[in-house]
């Protein structure tokens, strides 16, 4: 099936081909014709599946019909959990809308100037992409009229709920007409997301295409055990000197850690930059531009700040601090393996964090490969496998209970915290995780 079989307008087809897309992705094949028919949609999809085009192309097609109502308010409203994602979706609206008559869009996100947003809201708009908090501000000040909304899209709805936006989302939706078409995209459609979906949609068609497994299969997933912070820094240094690494996102647990690691990398001669929630929107935009244009090779980011980053050159994700939740792990590794490419995700783990590796494997259903870098092997060999097939509980040693690992981060005083520790990141030959891989069976194979 090609894009021209989906029922899209010629102007949109030319934008799709200008973007270099030859075939629709599975989520696009299913969601675009359904969305064009006007029904509500509940779509489970992951970042990297092509979901943005899956909702934006049919939403833009709607703009080709004259509006039934007069006014300045937007006809298409997209809500996203983060500013970065909102800016990317807004850019997608402009890119895909290029072949149509002028599409007027605005991104209403926190951390940006109100003045510019108010100016945008004084003019007629077709598409608004917003984070819930800032949109609520504009609604409360009476600056935006949502009575013309024909298409409402909730992007990464699970994340919006995780971030505590449920009341804001419901308030916003209550300002839109009941006749609207609603499309909800989320990694999961179960639990609280399912409840929200039932409240906000009518006779929705459910589409579940891109499984997390397919998405993650494009990403090679590796664990390197580290003895302490200095060892971690050396491993990071070696990984960044790997010639196969084009660009990389390094994940840190806290904003301060992101700053410190970035500084340390710059001192070691890498073109690195931090990205976290304490930076002004202008700084964040400049940083992302540097990454997109290839001037920045290593981005050191926190979880929330990195959400939605879509840069095809990111060949590696390195979890300097392992993610707190398995779900965050999936979002992190989704920054690589974009646009049909493959990627590598390396998680640096303290010995006390073994249980986290198991949590991740259980969540993704995919094995993490334990490797070592020649010359930088951990002192404590990760010899004992986390489990032996058919022997439930084997390897779950009492010393590795959740309480030991749960509070990994600054100030632990066990050598893993982000103190002012410097150095240890001295030049070293190119190191690749190599021959000492210990293959392990997938978590789902484990008898429990
Ligand atoms: P998304 O899941 O919307 O974040 O999209 C992930 C990436 O896939 C983005 O870089 C898109 O530009 C790209 N993309 C979207 N649709 C296609 C397609 N049909 N063919 C190739 N790349 C695509």
pLDDT in tens, 178-227: 999 999 999 888 788 889 999 999 999 999 875 555 555 678 999 999 99
Q: What are phi and psi of 186, to 5 degrees?
A: -160, 150
Distance (Å, whole) CA 25 – CA 33 = 13
Centre of ligand 1 to C-alpha 111, Å, is 27
DSSP run (H or E) holding 105? strand 105-108
With the most atoms of ligand 1 within 8 angstroms of its CB, the residue from 8, 26, 53 to mutate is: 53
pLDDT in tens, 269-288: 999 999 998 898 888 889 99
Q: How far apart are CA 231 and CA 32, in angstroms?
A: 49
Q: Could you give the 3-state DSSP secondary structure of residue 150?
A: coil
CA pseudo-torsion sign 160, 164, 168, 174: positive
User: Six-digit token pair at 346?
Assistant: 């390396």
50 ligand 1 Cβ < 6 A = yes
Residue with tokens 């009575």: 147
Residues in the chain: 448
CA of 297 to the centre of ligand 1 (A): 22
How far apart, in whole angstroms, are the C-alpha atoms of residue 365 and residue 329?
Answer: 13
Are residues 111 and 280 in contact, defined by beta-carbon separation less than 8 angstroms? yes
Report the atom number in ligand 1 closest to the C-alpha of 312: 10
Of 267, 288, 290, the C-alpha closest to 276 is 288
279: left (phi over 0), alpha (psi -120 to 50) or beta: beta
354 C-alpha to ligand 1 centroid (Å): 34
CB contact set of 339 (below 8 Å; sequence gap of 6+): 48, 310, 312
Q: What residues contact 155, with CB distance under 8 A and at least 6 apart? A: 51, 52, 55, 78, 79, 80, 81, 85, 89, 185
* Domains by residue range for the chain, with CATH: 3-210 (3.40.50.300), 213-446 (3.40.50.300)
Q: What is the pLDDT along the chain (448 residues), one digit of tens a residue?
A: 799 999 999 999 999 999 888 888 889 999 999 999 999 999 988 777 789 999 999 999 999 998 888 889 999 999 999 998 999 999 999 999 998 888 999 999 998 899 999 999 999 999 999 999 999 999 999 999 999 999 999 999 988 988 889 999 999 999 999 999 999 999 888 788 889 999 999 999 999 875 555 555 678 999 999 999 999 999 999 999 988 899 999 999 999 999 999 999 999 999 999 999 889 888 888 999 999 899 999 999 998 888 768 788 899 999 999 998 887 898 899 888 876 678 899 999 998 898 889 888 877 778 899 999 999 999 876 544 443 333 333 333 222 222 223 223 333 333 444 433 333 333 333 333 433 333 333 333 333 2
Compute, in angstroms, the gap from residue 250 CA to the centroid of ligand 1: 23
Which residue among 44, 52, 308 is best mutated to probe the pocket of ligand 1, counting the most ligand atoms within 8 A of its Cβ? 52
* Residue 204: strand, helix, or coil: coil
Within a 10 A sphere around the Cβ of 182, how many other Cβ atoms? Answer: 20
- Phi, psi (deg, nearest 5) at residue 10: -60, -40
- Closest atom of ligand 1 to 339 CA is 8
Distance CA 280, CA 338 (A): 27
Closest CA to 228 of 57, 76, 418: 418
Nearest alpha carbon to residue 252 among 10, 417, 25, 444: 417
If you take atom 14 of ligand 1, which residue's CA is the nearest one?
Answer: 50
- Binding site membership of 334 for ligand 1 (Cβ less than 6 Å): no
């Amino acid at each position: 099936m090609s894009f021209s079989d989906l029922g899209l307008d010629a102007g949109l087809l030319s934008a799709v081909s200008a973007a270099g897309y030859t075939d629709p992705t599975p989520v696009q094949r299913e969601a675009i014709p359904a969305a064009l028919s006007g029904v509500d949609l509940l779509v489970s999809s992951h970042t990297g599946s092509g979901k943005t085009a899956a909702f934006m192309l049919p939403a833009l097609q709607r703009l080709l019909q004259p509006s039934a109502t007069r006014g300045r308010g937007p006809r298409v409203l997209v809500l996203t959990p983060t500013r970065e994602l909102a800016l990317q979706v807004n850019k997608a609206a402009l890119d895909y809308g290029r072949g149509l008559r002028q599409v007027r869009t605005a991104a209403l996100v926190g951390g940006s100037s109100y003045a510019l947003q108010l100016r945008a809201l004084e003019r007629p708009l077709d598409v608004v992409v917003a984070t819930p908090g800032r949109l609520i501000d504009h609604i409360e000040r009476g600056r935006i009229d949502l009575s013309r909304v024909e298409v409402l899209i909730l992007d990464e709805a699970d994340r919006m709920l995780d971030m505590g936006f449920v009341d804001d989302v419901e308030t916003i939706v209550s300002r839109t007409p009941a006749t609207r078409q609603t499309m909800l995209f989320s990694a999961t459609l179960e639990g609280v997301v399912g409840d929200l979906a039932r409240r906000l949609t009518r006779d929705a068609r459910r589409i579940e295409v891109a499984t997390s497994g397919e998405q993650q299969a494009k990403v090679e997933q590796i664990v390197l055990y580290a003895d302490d912070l200095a060892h971690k820094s050396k491993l990071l240094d070696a990984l960044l000197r790997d010639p196969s690494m084009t660009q990389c996102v390094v994940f840190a647990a806290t904003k301060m850690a992101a700053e410190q690691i970035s500084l340390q990398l710059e001192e070691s001669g890498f073109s690195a930059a931090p990205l976290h929630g304490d930076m002004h929107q202008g700084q964040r935009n400049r940083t992302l531009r540097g990454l997109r244009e290839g001037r920045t090779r290593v981005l050191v980011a926190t979880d929330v700040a990195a959400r939605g980053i879509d840069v095809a050159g990111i060949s590696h994700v390195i979890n300097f601090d392992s993610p707190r939740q398995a779900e965050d792990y999936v979002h992190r590794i989704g920054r690589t393996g974009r646009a049909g490419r493959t990627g590598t995700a390396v998680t640096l783990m303290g010995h006390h964090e073994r249980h986290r590796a198991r949590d991740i494997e259980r969540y993704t259903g995919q094995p993490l490969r334990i490797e070592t870098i020649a010359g930088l092997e951990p002192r404590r060999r990760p010899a004992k496998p986390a489990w032996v097939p058919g022997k439930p509980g084997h390897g779950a040693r009492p010393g590795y209970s959740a309480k030991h690992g749960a509070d990994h981060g600054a100030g632990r005083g066990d050598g893993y915290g982000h103190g002012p520790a410097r150095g240890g990141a001295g030049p070293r030959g190119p190191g690749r995780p190599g021959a000492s891989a210990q293959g392990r069976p997938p978590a789902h194979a484990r008898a429990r």
